[in-house]
Structure formats: C-alpha cells, structure tokens
A and B are shown apart, each in its own frame.
Chain A
Amino acid sequence: MDTRFTRGKSNILERPLTRPKTEVSVSAFALLFSEMVQYCQSCVYSVSELQTRLADMGQRVGASLLDVLVLREKNGKRETKLLNMLLFIKVNVWKSLFGKEADKLEQANDDDKTYYIIEKEPLINAYISVPKENSSLNCAAFTAGIVEAILTHSGFPAKVTAHWHKGTTLMIKFNDSVITRDKALDSR
C-alpha cells in the first residue's frame, strides 16, 4: 500500500488551507537553524558541500510550500510567464516566509537568463557570523534551495546560488529552454 495514503489517524486533510495565525519567535528559528548548520557541518568536508546540503533541505521546504501558496494566494493558478513567476517569488513567497517583500529583483545587464534577488539583511543570516577561514560560506544557500525548488516545480528549471553582494544576493540562472519558451510566448 502506498504510504502516501492517509490512514485516517490524523485530520490533516480536513484542515483549512488559510494561513494559520500562529507565530513563533525568531529566536526559536535562529537556534533551530544554527543547529541545522552545525549538523550539516559535521557531515561534510568543504564549504561547497555544506552549502549543497543546506540547499537540499531548502529544496524540501520550497517543494512543500509551493502548492499551498499557489492555492492560497493565486486561486490555484500557476504562473506561466517568467516575469510573473519572479514577482510571485519576490512578493508572495517572501511575504509568507519572511513577512516582507524581497528588497530587490534585478536582471543581469549582459545575460537574459540571469536574475538576482537581493536582500540587505536576510533573516537566515541575521545571527550567523561567518568564520574568517571560510568567508565564502553563505547560509542563505538554504533560501536559494527554497527558491530553486519553487521555480523548478513550477516548470521553470533554474540553478539558484547565494552570494555576498550588496548584502545577500541569490543568483538565478534559468535553463535556456525557459528563456526560449518565454520568448515564444511573447511573440504569440
């Protein structure tokens, strides 16, 4: 029997999808996240492996968040246009995760498949001081994972990475196919 079927021992499917009123303290999240980072660190040998692991966990969050957000805020309609999809992330996704819109959304000057989401003081990094010996470490890799999963599961395959630039910048590189499709949609 497929384990994904509910066996009636929880009322999980009866619950309304509207946003619950519950709030937790930022400290609780910060401590949990810090423990996660330390756990990941104990399993890996390099900064890039650590970031990959954090991104993997972020992907799971993104994947489970997408459906509920689309149903709640978009009446069940998915975005098909690239720009709308990015705005959905900048506005809706960010608001539901962090309580505010992302600071900036920009397109790279020289490349039509690269976009940036820029956040001056991301919540994820609020309590993390990066050790000098691996200053490239950015725990926003976790957020990058969330964004990557949301894009990919919406039909916009992309690679998302976190960088230190004007605060924390998530660099989104779309697959060529996405750009081609978007242009085709435009010209129709």
Chain B
Amino acid sequence: MVFPHASLRLCLTRIGFGLTCSALSLGVALAQTDGASEGQRAAAEAAAALAGGEADEPVILKTPAVDTRRVYVQDPAHFAAVTQQFIIDGSTGRVIGMTDGGFLAHPLAAEDGSFFAQVSSVWSRIARGDRTDYVEVFDPETLLPTADIELPEDARFLIGTYQWMNALTPDNKKVLFYQFSPAPAVGVVDLEAKQFERMLDVPDCYQIFPASPTVFYMNCRDGSLARVDFANGETSVTNTQVFHAEEELLINHPAYSLRSGRLVWPTYTGKIYQMDLTEEAAGFREPFEALTEAERADNWRPGGWQQTAYHRQSDRIYLLVDQRDQWRHKTASRFVLVINAETGERINKIALGQEIDSINVSQDAEPLLYALSAGTQTLHIYDADSGEELRSVNQLGRGPQIIMTHDMGS
C-alpha cells in the first residue's frame, strides 16, 4: 500500500474534522431556499445560543440518515489528479459532507443506502511515480472508510467518468470494474472478504450492468450485449442478438436500474433502446424515438454528459436535449424530455433555464430532478413532475459531472 494504515486513519480523521467545518460553512453559504437561508437560520440559532449562555462545544458531525433524496455529485475536475465528491441533501439543498478521491475516481452507491464506495487511483508523487488503484468503501453517515482494497497493477480503465463503467452487484457484495488495456477484462472485488478476487476475460465489450450476484451484461462493439456469468470461479460469456446498426451510435451514458434491471440506452439522435436484464436473459423492448420527426428536422438532439435518467417506480425516462449540430453531442442542454417508458409517449418537456450537462432523479414517489452544470459548478434541483426549480447548490468543485443516488424506495 501507498499509505501505512495508521497515517491513513489520522489523515482521514483530520480531513473528517475539516470536512465538518467546510460542510457547515458551505451549507451556510450556498443553500438558496424559500424564506430564510441556511445561513440566516444558522446565524439566528448561534445568536440565540450565545444569548442563552450556551457554550460552543466543537465536535465532528455525522450526516443526517441516508434517504432517497441524498445525492452525490462527483467532480472529475477536468482530469485533475485529485478529485472531490459532494454529498448533498436534495430536500434542503445543503452539502452534508464530502469525500476525497484520486484521478478520475468512480463513485458507487449501494441502493439500500448501507454504504457508498469509489474505485480510484493515486500516485506516489501526486501525478507520477508508483500507481496504486484501489476500492474504498465508506460508512454513509460518519464518512469514514470501512474498507481499502488494493487492485492489481494498472488494472483500472482511466476515462472520463461513465456512470456504468464500474458497478456494484445487486447484493452489494462485489465491485465490478472495467479494464480496457491490454485487453478487455472485468475485475471482481469481494467486499465481504475485503480483497480483490480475479479478472474476468471478456470480449470487446464496454460498461457493466449487473443483473444478479453473478451475472452482468456489457455492450459490445459488434452491436450485441454480452451476458457474463462468473459463478463458481468460472467465466462463461454468451452474446445476444445484434440490436442496433453500426451507424446508430449509443451514447456513453445510458440509465440503468439495478433494482428493476431496466437498461435505457439512447442514441445520438434520441432513439431509445430498452432492455430488461435478468439473470437468465436480456429482453429487448421495441425502440422508439424520444424526439418528434419535426424536432429532429429542426436539429433537436440529446447532448451533455449524463444525459439519461430513469425513474423506476413511475417507469419514466428523462433525457437531456437541445437544438445542436450533430457533432456537438457533449455540449450542455437546456431541456429535459419526460417520457413514458412503456409507451414512448411524451409526458413533459421541461425548460431548465440553465446550461445543464448531467441529470438524474431521486427514486422516491415524488421525485426530484437533479440537473448539474459543470460550467457553473451548480446543482439545480427541480420538482420532476412540474419541472419547477426549487433550489440550487453552487461551488461544487471545478467541473462536476456525475450525479448518483440511492434507490431505497419500495
């Protein structure tokens, strides 16, 4: 290991203390809610405590209990060697904690809220020297690491963070991470034994969508999905039918529900492929166009980073769109389409009023729509039903791009 265990502890404890302070002050400075701001409320509380003769006893805080409206914002910081993740209460728009990560750290959240984790990389001299790839697991309320598991040398694929390039199995017992070079492979990390297990050889396929504790799917260059079964120390791979043509470009940011197995995968033009992934097989739904013919003729296209969200309970798809040139697919968008995933019917077209790069939704019955701007480092929070902006949180690093939630709802 790069860090001796004791000094890692010490370092994190100190960071933990610092975080408490910065989390508080960020909350004070940033939340913009109706009526009194967080800052005004905290000031009134502090004044009352002072008037009442209450002494200040500095302590390390815990976060509020995990709920479906907790949202994690990962900031890859435009490829900086060290990164941050902001933990935000979506209901109030307060930063409630932070975690530090290395280069292009990939965040993961257990759907039941029992922990969150990251796959990360550090070097002995900041951006050079000996490289260490590792998986770090965090207690969701103290934010202290509960596991630090080293991966084989240079095992991680270093890439702009795609939400599903790494994944947790649905039983939360394994982390699966992708290796690109020298050959496609998926690494298995055992979170119970707290150790790296093995690399699985896979075909020329990308991204990881777990459907059971030992089965996951990948999207392959040949236009099919691969089903990979790694039960009992073996690896068996089978391919589905080819489901899209070579000129139909699937974006890097599909939405996937680990809880229901639904995979929602738009193309550059907004054609939506959907699959229902189970341990046994991938069921393909009839694809549909998210944009009307008239809109497509008028240059409406999806665009941004995390462009797709799926709300499991209501079976709704959210897609970031705007008018753009064909090859400006990574620029921000100002609109979100809300679509019935079953029928393909449009439910709403929300004008965000902001240049937004990434979206996601909370998985509760009255979901929030999270819309993140890497350009202004601000998370805008909307009522997903009405499309009304409720609050925002700013100063989220340098280029925040990934929004992650816990699907804890029934």
A binds B: no
Q: B residues within 8 Å of A by Cβ?
A: none
